Structure 1
Amino acid sequence: MKIRIKDNSVRFRLTRSEVAELGTSGILTQVTEFASNIFKYSVMVKDVEELLADFVENNIILYMPKSMVDALVNTGKVGFSGQAGAVKLLIEKDFVCIDNTDEDQSDQYPNPKMTC
């Protein structure tokens, strides 16, 4: 799972296996270990009607309705957007990059803009 934060927007990008895990377990959490603290970012299924987010104990938590998770898992839906207070939220499937990269992209979704 990747996150991109800029000003009042947070974007989560999930690989194929992460989308499947979210559908099965209802939660994903990643950890970045700094020298003096740990930063977490999570996506969690919750009984809500729209995307919501919070920042609790060094953890950005994106809450998703089960219906949205089901759509990510079972359909071609690419992602969802929402807003929590001033923060714009986006969660989407992570596609293979079109440009050259050294990053392992074997678990990413095929990019619809690539021609074979």
Structure 2
Amino acid sequence: MKLRIEDNSLRLRLSEAEVHQFAETGRVAAVVPLGPAATDALTYALERVETEHFRVSYGAGAITVKVPATLANQWTTTDQNGLSATLLLTDTQSLKVLIEKDLDCRH
């Protein structure tokens, strides 16, 4: 899974195997080690949740994008390539979230 953070946007791109894992388990995650200790890492994950809205949580070295189950199920079982949402964080600040299938990815 690839993570791209740019300005006020967060983008996840999943390989075919990761899309299948997400469809089966409701979660896929990756870990980037940033130092020698196990706590010196960034974990980023995609989770299927029983809510109506996209959410993003951050804490303890982890970013988790939470996708409503109905949207996640439709995305994993059709040719639909992506999901997107714009989350209003404050009155003047938003975060655009994009989740895409990276089906040409072979690594």
TM-score calculated relative to the size of structure 1? 0.78
Q: Which amino acid aligns with 2:13?
A: R
**Comparing both structures, which one devotes a greater share of its residues to strand?**
2
Distance 1:106 1:4 in 2: 18
In angstroms, what is the RMSD of aligned CA positions? 1.4
Mapped contact 2:16–2:103 kept (Cα < 8 A)? no
Where does residue 43 of structure 1 map in the other structure?
Answer: 46
Distance 1:39 1:58 in 2: 5
For CA contacts below 8 A with separation 6 or more, give which structure has more relative contact order: 2
Where does residue 61 of structure 2 map in the other structure?
Answer: 58
Q: Which amino acid aligns with 1:42?
A: A
Where does residue 16 of structure 2 map in the other structure?
Answer: 16
How many residue pairs align between the two structures? 99
How far did residue 95 of structure 1 move? 4.0
Aligned partner of residue 44 in structure 2, secondary structure: strand
Moved over 4 A (4+): none
Aligned partner of residue 100 in structure 2, secondary structure: strand
Identity among equivalent pairs (%)? 27
Aligned partner of residue 71 in structure 2, secondary structure: helix
Distance 1:95 1:23 in 2: 15
TM-score calculated relative to the size of structure 2? 0.85
Q: Tell me if 1:76 matches 2:79.
A: yes
Aligned partner of residue 50 in structure 1, secondary structure: coil
Q: Tell me if 1:7 matches 2:10.
A: no
Q: Which runs of 5+ in 2 are unaligned?
A: none
Q: Which runs of 5+ in 1 are unaligned?
A: 97-104, 108-116
Deviations 1:69-102 (Å, cap 9, x if unpaired)? Answer: 2112210111111123221100011143xxxxxx
Mapped contact 1:19–1:72 kept (Cα < 8 A)? no
